Amino acid sequence: MPLLVMKFGGTSVATLDRIARASKRVAREVANGYDVIVVVSAMSGKTNELVGWVEETSPLYDAREYDAVVASGEIVTAGLMALRLQEMDIPARSWQGWQVPVKTTSAHSAARIEDIGTDAINQKFGEGFKVAVVAGFQGISPEGRVTTLGRGGSDTTAVAFAAAFGAERCDIYTDVDGVYTTDPRIEDKARKLDKIAFEEMLELASLGAKVLQTRSVELAMRYKVKLRVLSSFEEYDPNAGTLVCDEEEIVEQNAVSGVAYSRDEAKMTLISVADRPGIASAIFTPLSEAGVNVDMIVQNISEEGRTDMTFSCPTNQVKRAEDALAKAKDAGAINFRELVADTDVAKVSVVGIGMRSHAGIAAKMFSVLARDSINIKVITTSEIKISVLIDRKYMELAVQSLHDAFELDKV
């Protein structure tokens, strides 16, 4: 029997009515001849409520107990959906992470999946069960404790199950009807893509697009799991949504497929550091140890043995970065005259696998920004991406202008 994985996000299961609506979609796929593994998130807002209870009870909480509490949101949803399917005369049961089992690392609240057992669920399918409703976002550590995978972990759970069970496809149901060329809230001419390559989706997810969680796209790309992103709130259409797939499955590859942005960026510059071998390691090792997610890095031309080093990081990690570098300076590991933080910047990126075969994308991007008098502070590139840091007040203008310049509203 062919197998399908269907994942429903928090807004898709926010109420009993929405769980019933999602269950009807599952029933349709069962009627189409599939065995179905359904992966569910907690009901919308429930995880935040549970986290709040933990923090109110114990500000310096035990991470193992945190996971035990927070994982309960998905357990409730899984049980309710299994009950709804049973009411529809569909043989279904719920599964918690430890029952599958979903084996993970011991990094509580940020665990990684190491193995998914398939025997127990396959046995139930063999006995005539049609649907396994799995609580997403959770697993079990080598020590036998409940673990959680971090925010967006249910997407990762769904893709991992699709890979482990050899599913025909993994459908991600959310509150948007697919992947767009940019955020429709900023650019009303944004167009829904029928298909997008794994690499493009991974870049867009890492650059600020909120449609899919980055780790889930990484898994899908590694194990060649076809992903379909579609809305829980649209009427049924077998061709709905956006398919995330191999580059080879996309016939026409535009030079640019999308424009992404991130508001919460900061630019940090170390002024007058020694220009010597090992200085980059001396700067970025303490930042890594402090958990600072460094993105763009630029080293300026050196003068008389000194140079400036600029990098970007999330705005909520600026204080952490400042403390880490101050400690490194006090310890004598590095020496700099000043650390300047600019928290009023944004990152704007153009992404497209077609960049590999199209020249002039960077020149066109930079000329568009220059035309709108938008100054570029930092530039980084990869084979399929160009990112710039600009003043945050120009972010929406930059997104709209680049979307128009690359004609992303046209098929």
180 is in an annotated binding site: yes
pLDDT at 224 over 80: yes
pLDDT band at 392 (very low <50, low <70, confident <90, very high): very high
Looking at the chain, the whole-number percentage of residues with pLDDT higher than 90 is 77
223 is in an annotated binding site: no
Task: Take residue 7 and report the two structure tokens written for it.
Answer: 């994942």
CATH 3.30.2130.10-classified regions of the chain: 259-405
Mean pLDDT confidence for 324-336? 93
Q: Tell me: the pLDDT tens digits for 156-197?
A: 999 999 999 999 999 999 888 889 999 988 999 999 999 999
* pLDDT score, position 252: 64
Across all residues in the chain, what is the average pLDDT?
92
pLDDT at 210 over 80: no
Q: Specify whether the CB–CB gap between 194 and 242 falls below 8 A.
A: yes
103 is in an annotated binding site: no
State the Cα–Cα distance between residues 222 and 130, nearest whole angstrom.
28
Mean pLDDT confidence for 229-242? 85
| Phi then psi dihedrals of residue 81, to 5 deg | -70, -40
Q: Specify whether the CB–CB gap between 310 and 301 falls below 8 A.
A: no
Provide the strand spans (E) within 136-250.
138-140, 146-148, 169-174, 195-197, 227-231, 242-245
Q: Tell me: the pLDDT tens digits for 242-298?
A: 999 888 887 667 789 999 999 889 999 999 998 888 999 999 999 999 989 998 999
pLDDT at 208 over 70: no
pLDDT band at 86 (very low <50, low <70, confident <90, very high): very high
Instruction: Please state whether 361 falls in left (phi above 0), alpha (psi between -120 and 50) or beta.
Output: alpha
pLDDT at 206 over 90: no
Looking at the chain, the whole-number percentage of residues with pLDDT higher than 70 is 98
CATH 3.40.1160.10-classified regions of the chain: 3-175
State the Cα–Cα distance between residues 370 and 398, nearest whole angstrom.
10
* pLDDT score, position 354: 85
pLDDT at 381 over 80: yes
Q: Tell me: the pLDDT tens digits for 4-46?
A: 999 999 999 999 999 999 999 999 999 999 999 999 999 999 9
148 is in an annotated binding site: no
236 is in an annotated binding site: no
265 is in an annotated binding site: no
pLDDT band at 240 (very low <50, low <70, confident <90, very high): confident
* pLDDT score, position 315: 93
Mean pLDDT confidence for 51-75? 95
Beta-carbon count within 10 A of 66 CB: 19
pLDDT at 209 over 70: no
How much is the pTM?
0.84
338 is in an annotated binding site: no
Fold for 3-175, please state it.
Carbamate kinase (3.40.1160)
Q: Specify whether the CB–CB gap between 352 and 254 falls below 8 A.
A: yes
175 is in an annotated binding site: yes
The C-alpha angle 108, 109, 115, rounded to 5 degrees, equals 70
Q: Which residue has the tokens 């049609």?
A: 130
State the Cα–Cα distance between residues 106 and 104, nearest whole angstrom.
7
56 is in an annotated binding site: no
The DSSP output letter for 325 is H
**Of 298, 160, 287, 151, which is closest to residue 217 (Cα–Cα)?**
160
Bridge partners (DSSP) listed for residue 339: 270
SS3 call for 345: strand
101 upstream amide cis, omega within 30 of 0: yes
* pLDDT score, position 358: 82
pLDDT band at 91 (very low <50, low <70, confident <90, very high): very high
The DSSP output letter for 304 is T
Q: Specify whether the CB–CB gap between 6 and 25 falls below 8 A.
A: yes
350 is in an annotated binding site: no
Q: What is the CATH architecture assignment of 259-405?
A: 2-Layer Sandwich (3.30)
